[in-house]
A and B are shown apart, each in its own frame.
Chain A
Amino acid sequence: MYICQFIWNIFTYIGTFILLFANVFLIYSIIKYKKEIEKKYSDTDWKPKVSIIIPTYNESVKTLEKTILCVLKSNYPKNKLELIIVDDGSTNDSCDIIKQKYKSQNIKIFKKENGGPASAKNYGIKKSKGELVGTIDSDSFIAPNTIYNMIKIFKSDKSIGAVASSVKIFNPKKWIERFQHFEYEVILYVRRIFMVYESIYVTPGGFSLYKKKILNKLKGFDENSLTEDIEIALRIQSLGYKIRSSLDAYVYTVPPQDILSLIKQRVRWIRGGIRDRIKNRHLFSFEYGDFLYLGMCFDFIILIPICIGIVAPFIMALLNASWINELGFVSLAYLSTSHITGIGIIITILTVSWTLSVINFMEKNSEEGTKVGWDPIGILIFIFAYGYIMVFSWLVAFYKEITFSKKSWETRESIVR
């Protein structure tokens, strides 16, 4: 047997084992911690002052207005709600129009020089007076009970530092929205599982609530990060505060509308995720318990089998070219050895169970009147296209990292996770 073939076989077995391990881990956790994962929080009379910050840059009046209105329509005492809009040096006049139109409302609008989304959020934090501070993307919309449902979670445990919302796709119709709709449900479900292990590593930019004293302690968001919502979560974890994920604090967002924007978004997530983890590398320690494996490594480990499964066939096709045969790399096509076929059957069964579990979770945790129902086509597209999109995004992210591409507001799409 050629040495290359042998090494390849080993890689295939390791990759398959990792994929199987991840599947078993998720299903085992779902069974073992079902109650905690599906837990909803009890009502409370506690109504702290909440500041909601909307950072904006060249957003249209219509979209911005929609976001403002959804916050104003919240089922939360108006005197306890502070709405802050931070215009990060927009070149359009949306904020001026809003200022005129909502003069009577208690909306604070600030203008500053362009500095990026994190800098706009930090500016808003400085101006805020609430005990809790929330940041919402200017193209996302919250449901009337979202703020209150998050407050209930804060009340349940004093050591909670932040609460992540339940981000959903707004009215998914196109194929690209339908598969992301399912993806977001998977993300939410996994986040709930990770919550049981105190390993949430992102507070979605779509909408999240933080204790202001913690944000002050952390000196706000990292303005140099590509994904400040991951970076801040890592530092909250590092301080020892808990992060919770809500099931019923709904936030609706409009996802990337074409494949190019989707890849751009994923590339940013990947680059940001890597950089933020490197920056907070002290978290790669057993001292942080499960967070070491789930918060710091899981995302990257799971990529190994995906890469093996997707990149490998292309390498195989290359290696089958006759000039390579002459170099001695013959018969590398050992991808589908018969043993792997058997393990593949087991992985398929687990994946189907896991998918059904997500569908069930989705049905239980959607806002009345907005239920999309289960969408087999969206799920199939997710299963077959997601891996390719992720691998391609990884390759682009890697290329951009080595060519030191810069970030800007223009490169940002809908900021959700």
Chain B
Amino acid sequence: MGRNFSLNVYTTVFIITLALFLTGIYIGMKLNDIYLIDFGKEVETLNVKMHSYELLFLLDNSSMGCDLYGEYAVTLDSETFSIGANLDYMEQHQGIENKELKMQYFKLEMRDYLISKKMIKQCNLNQSIILYFYSNTECILCRDQGFELDKLKHDININNQTNVRTYSFDGDYEDSAVIRALKHEFNISTYPALVINDQVYEGLRRSQEIKNKLN
């Protein structure tokens, strides 16, 4: 019988589709860039803010510094957390991993950690610090550990209990001097790993267990 097969139509449609597909990918990449620029600005603002506080803390050793730290902890904790959550979302859901931004974020966390450690001691505050080391390549339980820490933060917020500062670090970032230094200091070799008030705990720890250790 031999009916017409519109090969020319399908070929043209295929070429147009391919061109649009590649254009779509290009648009996606450009959108990422725009998003990353905005996000970079956010990180930079936090950086400047932290720097100002840092100077104030260095200048003032009196009780005024302790009052200032209260304000600092409330503001910066939520801002740092939001940047961390954004980075995580981008990496997990959008496939965007920006090494430079991540390293900058770890640097911010490190500075925040050092300030908090100093001020907690100086002001004799009832506050705990948790460092969380994870890996995105060789850790099956890290996602669960992330959930447990979120749960802990949620519970503490609800019950208005002891203030806890949590800092997450990607152990795979060996290029970052911050990561190298912290891993070396606490001798971290497996993931997930938690450092709760300077004590190292390897393996998955449930939120209740962490809460017990804080008390």
Which A residues touch B27, using CB under 8 A?
342-343, 345-346
Query: Is B156 among interface residues, defined by CB-CB distance under 8 A?
Result: no
Q: Contact: A326 with B144, CB < 8 Å? A: yes
Which A residues touch B24, using CB under 8 A?
20, 339-340, 342-347
Which B residues touch A337, using CB under 8 A?
28, 94-95
Number of chain A residues close to chain B: CB under 8 A: 42
> Chain B 20-41, CB within 8 Å of chain A: the 1/0 string?
1101111111111000000000
Q: In the complex where A20-B21, A24-B17, A343-B24 touch, is A338 in contact with B147 (Cβ < 8 A)?
A: no
Which A residues touch B14, using CB under 8 A?
21
For A333, A334, A339, which residue has the most chain B Cβ atoms within 10 angstroms? A339
> Chain B 49-65, CB within 8 Å of chain A: the 1/0 string?
00000000000000000
Query: Is A17 among interface residues, defined by CB-CB distance under 8 A?
Result: yes
Chain A interface main SS type: helix
Q: In the complex where A32-B9, A337-B95 touch, is A198 in contact with B140 (Cβ < 8 A)?
A: no
Query: Is B141 among interface residues, defined by CB-CB distance under 8 A?
Result: yes
B2, B21, B143: the one within 8 Å of A343 (CB) = B21
Q: Contact: B1 with A288, CB < 8 Å? A: yes
CA distance A338 to B28 in the complex (A): 5
Give chain A nearest CB distance to B116 CB in angstroms: 30
Give chain A nearest CB distance to B85 CB in angstroms: 15
For A16, A325, A336, A342, which residue has the most chain B Cβ atoms within 10 angstroms? A342
Chain A's closest residue to B16 (CB) is A24
Interface contact tally, CB-CB below 8 A: 114
Give chain A nearest CB distance to B206 CB in angstroms: 11
Q: In the complex where A330-B143, A338-B96 touch, is A198 in contact with B4 (Cβ < 8 A)?
A: yes
Q: Contact: B6 with A240, CB < 8 Å? A: no
Query: Is A354 among interface residues, defined by CB-CB distance under 8 A?
Result: no
Q: Contact: A336 with B94, CB < 8 Å? A: yes
Query: Is A286 among interface residues, defined by CB-CB distance under 8 A?
Result: yes
For chain B, which range describes its interface: under 10, 10 to 19, 20 to 34, or 35 or more residues?
Answer: 35 or more
Q: Contact: A291 with B140, CB < 8 Å? A: no
Q: In the complex where A287-B3, A325-B143, A345-B24 touch, is A338 in contact with B9 (Cβ < 8 A)?
A: no
CA distance A286 to B144 in the complex (A): 53
Given A28-B13, A330-B140; 14 other pairs, CB 8 A cutoff? A16-B21, A24-B20, A25-B13, A28-B12, A289-B4, A292-B5, A331-B143, A335-B93, A336-B93, A337-B95, A338-B94, A339-B25, A339-B28, A341-B94
Which A residues contact B (CB, under 8 angstroms)? 16-17, 20-21, 24-25, 28-29, 32, 197-198, 240, 286-293, 322, 325-326, 328, 330-331, 333-347, 350
Which B residues contact A (CB, under 8 angstroms)? 1-6, 9-10, 12-14, 16-17, 20-21, 23-32, 92-96, 136, 140-144, 147
- 24 A-B pairs within 8 Å (CB atoms) are namely A20-B20, A25-B13, A28-B9, A287-B1, A287-B3, A288-B1, A290-B4, A292-B5, A325-B140, A325-B143, A330-B140, A330-B142, A331-B143, A337-B28, A338-B29, A339-B24, A340-B28, A342-B23, A342-B25, A342-B26, A342-B30, A343-B20, A343-B28, A347-B24
